[in-house]
Amino acid sequence: MSMNNFELYKVFYWAAKSGSLTKAAKTLFLTQPSVSHAIKQLEDSFGVALFSRNSKGVSLTPEGATLYSYIEQSHILIGLAEEKMAELKKLESGELRIGGSDSLFKHFLLPYLEAFHDEYPGIKLQLIHGTTPEIITFLKEGRIDLGVVRMPIVDPQLEVRESIQLQDCFVAGSRYAELKGELLSMEQLLEYPIILFSRNSRARKAVTDLFHNYGFNLKPGIEVGSVDLLIELARKGLGISFITREFVSRELEEGSLFEVKLDVKMPPAQVGIMTLRNIPLTRAASEFLGRIG
């Protein structure tokens, strides 16, 4: 009977643990001669006796006891690995790492994250913030399982599933109430202080390119580092903020902000869920992705 080393060690473990070749054979569903042969193979390969025979069965020699101390640890680790794999299969433990912007986490992903956490509280959630280029790098380096970004993304290494559509717009507070209900040209809008996101975001590039295509240079009077500040400064009347409409739905509804309409249609933006192509997703990431659609 031919056995690989792992099988030989398994026979050795059960023979040592039970002190009986017969009991080891029953546990492993082998014949006793197969067990004896496996022990002999190990003893021959090491050149030492691992067991001494006695009337009750077998007992370990000092050399056998040394080997057993290592094999026992391996057996414990394998058992723990099997338990861990069973937990992961049932999503009782593990980790889900998602990359994205603060605003997409807050205004788009939050309900999905909340529902996922309620159902799988044993899964650790790790949200990693960054710009789209940073998120792409994190994904390729294996630091995240999936990324939530604005489209378009063109990269042969990435697979992108389209999710929701967003609409960017300009908003202002009560200080500019005279603009409510008016339809402004780009030239008219540029007479007012414009507040833009300071980082190299897709939204800022899209609006800058749009104005450029019409022959205008969109220069912000104020640049800020967060969507919350875009909202707050517009409410305080420091200027007109360019922001995603869905991110200010509450403020628009309650009237603390209103949309400043342009005579040019702002192109919609698509949010995509990004994964590495041809790399299997973890069970947690696959389950989460299925919920977003």
d(CA 253, CA 66): 74
51 and 100, same structural domain? Answer: no
Residue 266 belongs to what H/E stretch?
none
241 and 117, same structural domain? Answer: no
CA-based nearest residue to 147, from 263, 289, 293, 250: 289
225 and 152, same structural domain? Answer: no
pLDDT digits (tens, 9 = 90+) for 131-188: 888 999 999 888 999 999 988 888 999 999 888 889 999 999 999 999 999 999 999 9
243 and 194, same structural domain? Answer: yes
Q: Is the distance from CB of 178 to CB of 185 less than 8 angstroms? A: no
Whether 90 shows a pLDDT value over 80: the answer reads no
Q: Is the distance from CB of 170 to CB of 242 less than 8 angstroms? A: yes
Last residue of a domain, one of 38, 57, 89: 89
Q: Pairing between strand 95-100 and 124-129?
A: parallel
d(CA 134, CA 190): 31
Number of domains in the chain: 3
CA-based nearest residue to 127, from 291, 288, 290, 293: 288
137 and 78, same structural domain? Answer: no
Task: Tell me the two tokens of residue 258.
Answer: 């209103």
112 and 54, same structural domain? Answer: no
State the pLDDT at residue 10.
92
Question: Which residues are CB-contacts of 21 (< 8 A; sequence separation ≥ 6)?
Answer: 15, 32, 35, 36, 39, 57, 58
Last residue of a domain, one of 89, 112, 133: 89
Last residue of a domain, one of 51, 74, 89: 89
155 and 278, same structural domain? Answer: yes
3-state secondary structure of 46: helix
Q: Is the distance from CB of 234 to CB of 179 less than 8 angstroms? A: no
Question: Which residues are CB-contacts of 46 (< 8 A; sequence separation ≥ 6)?
Answer: 63, 67
234 and 155, same structural domain? Answer: no
CATH number assigned to the domain comprising residue 216: 3.40.190.10
192 and 65, same structural domain? Answer: no
pLDDT digits (tens, 9 = 90+) for 96-135: 999 998 888 988 899 999 999 999 999 999 999 988 889 9
What's the burial of 281, exposed, middle or buried (CB within 10 Å: 0-12/13-18/19+)?
middle
What's the burial of 80, exposed, middle or buried (CB within 10 Å: 0-12/13-18/19+)?
exposed
Q: How much is the pTM? A: 0.64
pLDDT digits (tens, 9 = 90+) for 38-51: 999 999 999 999 99
Domain span holding position 155 = 95-165+271-292
Whether 2 shows a pLDDT value over 60: the answer reads no
pLDDT digits (tens, 9 = 90+) for 218-257: 999 999 988 899 999 999 999 999 999 999 999 999 999 9
Question: Which residues are CB-contacts of 177 (< 8 A; sequence separation ≥ 6)?
Answer: 258
Question: Which residues are CB-contacts of 61 (< 8 A; sequence separation ≥ 6)?
Answer: 48, 49, 50, 51, 52
201 and 254, same structural domain? Answer: yes
pLDDT confidence bin for 199, thresholds 50/70/90: low
d(CA 146, CA 96): 9
CA-based nearest residue to 204, from 163, 259, 242: 242
Handedness of CA 32, 33, 37, 40 (dihedral sign): positive
d(CA 227, CA 103): 6
280 and 229, same structural domain? Answer: no
250 and 197, same structural domain? Answer: yes
What number of other Cβ atoms are within 10 A of residue 116's Cβ?
20
DSSP string, 215-244: T-----SEEESSHHHHHHHHHHTS-EEEEE
